[in-house]
Chain A
Amino acid sequence: MTILEAAAQMAAGKLSSAELTRAALASAAALQGKLNSFITVMEDAARDRARRMDEERAAGRNRGPLHGIPVAVKDVFCTNGVRTTCGSKILAHHVPEYDAAVVERLDAAGAVLIGKTSMHEFAYGITSNNVHYGAVRNPWNTDCVPGGSSGGSGTSVSAEIVFMAMGSDTGGSIRIPAAFCGTVGIKPTTGRVSRYGVLPLDFTLDHMGPLTRSVRDAALCLQAIAGHDARDDSSSRQPVSDYLPGAEVSIKDQRIGIPENFFYERLDAGVERGVRSMAALAEKLGARLVSVRVPDMASINAVGRVILLSEASAAMANFMDRRAEIGDAVITLLDQGRLIPAVDYVNAQRLRRLYQREFAAVWNHADCLLVPATPNTAPRIDQNEVELGGVREDVRLASTRLVRGINVLGLPALSMPCGLADNGLPVSTQIIGKPFDEATLFRVGAALEDASGHKNLRPPVL
């Protein structure tokens, strides 16, 4: 069931928020041992909230499609009076006295927050193998990682515990778990969603967005949380579009760019098959496939790594005298960032400016790009390398290869399922758009989802 379907049933009086929330809490408890989706479950608060939302509805107030819907947020979003660990031991007892802007907006939209999802320590990694809170496991194969850093957000949506879970994405941390878990995920344009009250990994690459069971659900969730916030200095005043595609959505004559360089190189065979089938489907639906060349994405990724290493190490500098309390993988990255001279950091930000200008030329030829989200399917929990196209790659660098550069460029990108690979794991398409043109991504995504049937995929753990 999707948010739109649940909202329709609640509007018709066939279902209550209390029932949905009871089911979500029961499912969260039943699957915690298998998946480890949550760091904190807010059982009593969620039940109270659901009852109040049902009372409001009975009194004639309807806040919109999220009214009474059970959701979760990654444990990087501050929640008033509820601990917010950032997946770390150092912040294990951190209890904020305020809500993140996203949490405020979800509250205003009537959502029922049932808990804080598990994540990679400090959101700095893509496996969600957390040394302090345990490994998060993929609902499609519990020997595999769910992706990260928003791993618990991916598993809690994929396993149908909640209808939506918020993630944060610095170098793919929404789109990678969405891809590995078979859900939809949207990383919005820089400045579209407020970062206020989100514990930072980075200051210029962090983005907030939802993971959901369908493209339309992602659209209505982004609608609820997007918009200017004076408390975030990077927040944009650009007006928020209407994101939700209609029931009959057309992509006739839409120019969909298929990059002839970088994005289709060294892919798992199942990933390539799935993404090319989506491109063929788009053409069948009337879209025009356009071959385009994109700027040097490998170099943009390198620029992104210099920026991330520098900014993350600056953000965590005050924790470095507690290095014994930080996991090996994260402390290694934090140490690496300390070795980058300020000159290189500034030059990385200057190169970023150049690449942003170069990439803008792509939009003269295409309205959006259709590419894979990850070149690989979910790796095993103990796997450090993956072989793609005859080349062995570090799992983290391979999994971020097709997503990291989009954070550097600040562009919106939607990750959505496009089938299963031969190993039974989900594969995912990424649709990349112009700045602040999330509406096109949702329209193209909804058309492909409707025609392909890749929606609300049910993993074996259910």
Chain B
Amino acid sequence: MYNAITMQKDFKALAAVLAPDIPPEKLDGVVKPMEGLEAQFRPLVARIPLETEPSYVQAVHPEPSK
């Protein structure tokens, strides 16, 4: 069953769709570091409370405040 938190991504499959111009002989060099990063990053997502906003949010200022 798919689990968004724990499931590791298949980066070769992603590359085939999102970046088909990556030369085949370069693909392992692109994908391998991503697998290591994924293993570190994926478990962190589970700890984000729903109401947490991203650090980078839209800010609108009345002119000419900035």
Contacts and interface: CB of A to CB of B under 8 A. Distances in A.
B45 A347 contact: yes
A320 B18 CA distance: 13
A119 B19 CA distance: 27
A339 B18 contact: yes
Contact of A332 (B26, B54, B56): B26
Contacts of A351: 44-45, 47-48
B19 A306 contact: no
Contacts of A203: 56
A335 B55 contact: no
A303 B54 contact: no
A15 interface: no
Contacts of A305: 37, 41
A354 interface: yes
A353 B44 contact: no
B12 to A, nearest CB: 9
Given A302-B37, A320-B21, A332-B29, A356 B55 contact: yes
B7 interface: no
B30 A335 contact: yes
B54 A302 contact: no
Interface string B34-59: 10010011001101100011111001
A348 B30 CA distance: 20
A394 B36 CA distance: 12
B56 A204 contact: yes
Listed residue (B19, B29, B59) with the most chain A CB atoms within 10 angstroms of its CB: B19
A61 B39 CA distance: 60
In the A-B complex, the 6 residue pairs with the smallest Cβ-Cβ separation, listed nearest first, are A349-B54, A302-B40, A352-B55, A338-B19, A353-B55, A350-B52
A344 B59 CA distance: 22
Contacts of B33: 336, 394
A298 B36 CA distance: 13
Given A335-B19, A344-B41, A349 B56 contact: yes
A230 interface: yes
A36 to B, nearest CB: 27
A346 interface: yes
Contacts of A332: 26, 29-30
A106 to B, nearest CB: 23
B30 A302 contact: no
Interface string A326-345: 00000010011011000010
25 contacts: A204-B55, A204-B56, A233-B66, A235-B66, A302-B37, A302-B41, A303-B44, A306-B41, A335-B22, A335-B30, A336-B34, A338-B19, A339-B19, A339-B31, A344-B45, A348-B41, A349-B56, A350-B52, A350-B54, A350-B55, A352-B55, A353-B52, A353-B53, A354-B47, A394-B33
B18 to A, nearest CB: 5
A323 interface: yes
Interface string A189-204: 0000000000000011
A148 B52 CA distance: 34
A120 to B, nearest CB: 17
Contacts of A338: 18-19
Nearest to A204: B56
Nearest to A396: B33
A424 to B, nearest CB: 32
Nearest to A313: B19
B65 to A, nearest CB: 9
A2 to B, nearest CB: 36
Contacts of B48: 347, 350-351, 354
A261 interface: no
A299 interface: yes
Nearest to B30: A335
Contacts of B9: 339
A336 B30 contact: yes
Contacts of B44: 299, 302-303, 351
Nearest to A237: B66
Nearest to A344: B41
Interface in B1-18: 9, 11, 14-15, 18
Given A302-B37, A335-B30, 11 more contacts: A204-B55, A204-B56, A235-B66, A299-B40, A336-B33, A338-B18, A338-B19, A339-B18, A344-B45, A349-B56, A353-B53
A299 B55 CA distance: 16
B34 A349 contact: no
Contacts of A303: 41, 44
